[in-house]
Amino acid sequence: MSIDRDALIRSLNRIVEHELAGAVRYTQYSLMVFGHARIPIISWMQAQAQESLAHATQAGEEVTTIGGQVSLGIGELVGTHHASIDDIMKELVAHERQGVTLYEALLGLVEGKSVSLEEYARGMIRAEKLHTAEILKMLNKRAGDD
């Protein structure tokens, strides 16, 4: 079975754009944190920004490996200043869940057709789900309680 190359490139480029938006979002939100827990929260957000950038790079490398051009776009950015860290975290949960959806779409395109891309997609789904769970723990919620 062959993979629809154009659909694969579109899927990977959506991931590139989403992960780049995540890097910007985590960086911007790290600048909005105040209060007693500021230092550990901003450190965590800055690490997440770096990880999002690494994820965008990984997806971009996959695009160029199959001979495509990497998108120069960036995903949706929310221009909202939040009143609380909880509001920021809730938005980040939505962002991470969108990432899971994008990686699941990629998996659907490559499953049974490319072991390498299938493993990549599965690993990224796991990573995004762990990020979501971590944020929910910060919000003092269990993964199934939301």
User: How do residues 88-109 score in pLDDT, each as one tens digit?
Assistant: 999 999 999 999 999 999 999 9
Residue 142 has a pLDDT of 62
Question: Which pLDDT band holds residue 117 (cuts at 50, 70, 90)?
Answer: very high
What's the mean pLDDT in 57-68?
Answer: 97
Q: Is residue 76 part of a domain?
A: no
Residues of the domain holding 86:
5-70+81-138
Q: Is residue 144 part of a domain?
A: no
SS3 label, residue 131: helix
Flag whether pLDDT at 121 surpasses 70.
yes
Q: Is residue 146 part of a domain?
A: no
Largest CA distance in the chain: 55
> For the whole model, what pTM was predicted?
0.92
Q: Is residue 37 part of a domain?
A: yes
- Domain count within the chain: 1
The tokens for 145 are 């309680």
- Give the CATH number for residue 105: 1.20.1260.10
Task: Tell me the one-letter amino acid at 21.
Answer: A
Flag whether pLDDT at 146 surpasses 60.
no
| In contact, 13 and 63? CB cutoff 8 Å | yes
Of 28, 6, 29, 3, nearest to 135 by C-alpha is: 29
Q: Is residue 75 part of a domain?
A: no
Q: Is residue 23 part of a domain?
A: yes
User: How do residues 35-45 score in pLDDT, each as one tens digit?
Assistant: 888 999 999 99
Task: Tell me the one-letter amino acid at 131.
Answer: H
